[in-house]
Amino acid sequence: MRVYHYKRKGGLLNFGDDLGPASVEYALGKPVEFAGPLTANIMGVGSIISTWSRQRAWKRNLIDQVMFRTPTAIWGSGVIGQRDIVLPRCSLLAVRGPLTQKVIGYDDAPLFGDPGLLASRMIKKAPANQKIGVVPHYVDKNHPAVVALLNDPAFMVIDVEQDWKRVLSKISACDVILSSSLHGLIVADSYQIPNARVSFSGAIVGGDFKFFDYGHAIGRGEITARMIQSIDDLCAAAAELRSMHQVLSHNIVDAINERLIDVLVS
């Protein structure tokens, strides 16, 4: 099975992108391999629908016709913002959320959900460490407020440029999660860990779009960011999470996961 997911230049990792092939492997129960969008069977986790332009869609349609290939399946993917998208012929199994659905112009609502919610099924929850987990997007990892946390025993800074299994294990051990990475929030939701979106720099491509898209899909609405300038800001955000202790319902996570697996397997 050939799966398309975003790959960073120079072989750098990003656990959120790597959840793409991992979640497909889990759902299908068999190994997958990377392929570009013109030859992939499945497009999964990430804002990778934005890769489609009129020219690329035309090429994909031509390849499918000449090679007698089945059109690609879109499974939980999203777009990065409001932009022109021209999809090839495809099987639209699920998209990340209703904002993606609106951008791609499909009137019939497909299943909404990000396959990153399968995290807690793929990796067993680690023993609790009672720490405040901070998951900065890779563009934020050298922000002064993040660097200042590295030697603070109350915090665990989780590097998204590590192996995805290691990142999931670390997130699952934390008491609360503060993340500028969307998949930091999604994985925390999967493990029913209280979490909140934070912003260190405002440098993440697409701004609010993907966070709002995911939030509306699961009933959290617009997941807005708390601006962080210091450790005090992070401590205040963590204290608020601990006092409220609101988590995404296990029933919601399970229902989305079951439907995601069903549509892919069938």
What CATH code is assigned to 119-250? 3.40.50
Does 177 score more than 90 pLDDT?
Answer: yes
pLDDT, mean of residues 96-105:
94
For the entire predicted model, the pTM comes to 0.96
pLDDT of residue 134: 98
Residue 144 dihedral angles phi and psi, to the nearest 5°: -50, -35
- Do residues 158 and 58 make contact, with C-beta atoms less than 8 angstroms apart? no
pLDDT mean across residues, the chain: 95
Does 108 score more than 80 pLDDT?
Answer: no
| pLDDT confidence bin for 202, thresholds 50/70/90 | confident
pLDDT of residue 209: 96
Q: How far apart are CA 202 and CA 208, in angstroms?
A: 10
Does 162 score more than 90 pLDDT?
Answer: yes
| pLDDT confidence bin for 76, thresholds 50/70/90 | very high
pLDDT, mean of residues 237-251:
94
DSSP 128: P
Secondary structure (3-state) at 117: helix
**% of the chain with per-residue pLDDT over 90:** 91
